[in-house]
A and B are shown apart, each in its own frame.
Chain A
């Protein structure tokens, strides 16, 4: 069976690989993955990837941080043990709020930034001791690798990829 066979087509130019992705897509082939040494603008759209929702998660985490800051300043300064500090008594959160703005701001940023980055690491499966999964070490240097699954159409596919400007084509068994 050739169901786990894939073609690895290597390119050495970002513009060429972008055009190649469009052509391979137009020829109705499924592109499993493209490994790049640097971000290529428009590649995600050409591959048909859905927009990322990282910014949305960050917004939600930011709101969480703000809420925690509001609760924390209220609980410690007003609710749990109100004190008269320097002639500025702690009667209500709203009256003392201006002094809490820096804390509210910092905790909003703290939560929005860190939790978004953690979400990014989890979603993209990158963390310490994770093994790299790029099939060719050149993809972090100056080569772009397009992975296309083979479904008994090896010849046709290799010709198409050659036409799009691939500098090297390997057929590998993916386990």
Chain B
């Protein structure tokens, strides 16, 4: 039998589902009406987004002097938020690409939403460097295009320019990967749509996908090759983001372990955000049969692993800062000076949210609990924000010359833009959850016979 799977493996699709049931379940949130909770959540997100846009317009109109920056602290909240959002954007492609290469079937229930989250998070991330340019209408100057300033080109030696290339490649490749996977699912919605307008829209979105055997053969190879390309890509993006810091000459930033440590941190925070979103979504869209305890547990295992890597990186940064014996190193973000200094609260928040709380996931009961996973994922989201804040603000606040020491304090504009991006992110995600097939139903159908609860029972019933 081609659909055999060891009985010891838990089912990934619960209940007595047929292929048609999967279609019905995935189409229901799109064809039904939004409930009150959706409108409340959307309203709050929209308000936050508009508030953020207001702050962005104010910043652009007045200049970035409205932020809490100074000549010593030229990067703070904005870049913290940029790195935070890019980090969150790492789980999606990791789930869809790396787990595809490893043939992990559990990815199929969550890859669609994780990729959507990736794309929406990278949108938010991209906003910050553009606003920080101060004159965002000149943003195209980062592109190597012939121009009228003599033949002045962009500087390919600069990690900031590498970032431009890395993030645009990542965003655009993630987008086509996501969209290609969506075609058969849009086609499914199209073929059962009754309202003519809906039919038109989904016909357009599905690109006329017909599901010929040859199309599927190409589809599968294209997915595999895209996964192969996206795997090093996803690792390269945060590596290059870390080089924005690591190639500088600032103690605290000039650290060779930054690339792997940042990548692990990005996956850590990305999976935490997936947990946060799916914890809510599975309830709201009634997809409990597809996003199960097992999925939550697997994601938590990835979180323990990457969180462990991050913890070891903190420990080694702390040790090296102490071991150099250099007084300057005592003011980097991982040092006794940081722990006891004016940013002590930020230091200890990082330790608490990023190292201490995630250790609870070693306990199997907690790892398999929806509510605990949700709470811990929120803690990690906060902790990872503090990691970036500590690296940026603590290091910059204590320069080489004590007379230049400065304490960064955000203005309400800094905070407002951050809240605005959170609102924008949720606006996009909530619209997505109402209009897109949130689970890759065509892929889930391929594993139904091997990993569906009813099929497993039929096959293994006599073993129990």
Interface residues of A (CB under 8 A from B): 12, 14-15, 33-44, 47, 49, 51-52, 54-55, 58, 62, 72-73, 76-77, 80-81, 85-86, 88, 96, 99-100, 102-103, 105-107, 109-110, 112-114, 116-117, 120-121, 123-134, 137-142
Contacts and interface: CB of A to CB of B under 8 A. Distances in A.
Contact of A47 (B166, B204, B213, B240): B213
Nearest to A45: B217
B443 A49 contact: no
A102 B161 CA distance: 10
A61 to B, nearest CB: 10
A132 B443 contact: no
A76 B152 CA distance: 8
Contacts of A43: 213, 216
B348 interface: no
Contact of B208 (A39, A76, A130, A138): A130
19 contacts: A15-B3, A36-B213, A37-B19, A49-B213, A52-B221, A54-B225, A58-B229, A102-B166, A106-B162, A107-B169, A109-B173, A123-B218, A124-B214, A125-B208, A127-B208, A128-B207, A137-B191, A141-B188, A141-B192
Given A81-B150, A134-B211, A139-B211, A116 B173 contact: no
Contact of A99 (B157, B191, B214, B215): B157
A41 B211 CA distance: 14
Given A38-B445, A43-B213, A141-B188, A132 B208 contact: yes
Contact of A85 (B155, B215, B229): B155
A12 to B, nearest CB: 8
Given A132-B187, A141-B20, A141-B23, A37 B173 contact: no
Contacts of A113: 173, 176-177, 226, 229-230
B456 interface: no
Interface string B1-18: 011000000000000001
Nearest to A125: B208
B157 A124 contact: no
A146 B180 CA distance: 24
B375 interface: no
A51 B222 CA distance: 13
Given A39-B446, A121-B207, A141-B20, A109 B153 contact: no
A102 B191 CA distance: 44
Interface bracket on B: 35 or more
Contacts of B184: 37-38, 140
B151 interface: yes
Interface string B428-464: 0000000000000011011001000000000000000
Interface in B216-268: 216-222, 224-226, 229-230, 232-233, 236, 240, 243
Nearest to B223: A39
B151 to A, nearest CB: 5
Given A33-B213, A52-B217, A141-B188, A131 B208 contact: yes
A142 B157 CA distance: 54
Contacts of B211: 35-37, 134, 139-140
B2 A35 contact: no
Given A49-B213, A131-B203, A126 B172 contact: no
Contact of A126 (B151, B208, B226): B208
B318 interface: no
B336 to A, nearest CB: 33
Given A49-B213, A142-B18, A105 B225 contact: no
Contacts of A134: 187, 191, 210-211
A142 to B, nearest CB: 4
Given A96-B157, A142-B19, 11 more contacts: A14-B449, A73-B156, A81-B151, A88-B157, A100-B156, A106-B169, A113-B173, A129-B204, A132-B187, A132-B209, A140-B211
A-B complex: 6 closest residue pairs judged by Cβ atoms: A130-B208, A142-B19, A137-B191, A76-B153, A102-B162, A126-B207
Contacts of A86: 157
A55 B221 contact: yes
Contact of A44 (B162, B192, B214): B214
Nearest to B173: A113
B188 to A, nearest CB: 4
B43 interface: no
A129 B190 CA distance: 13
B393 interface: no
B50 to A, nearest CB: 31
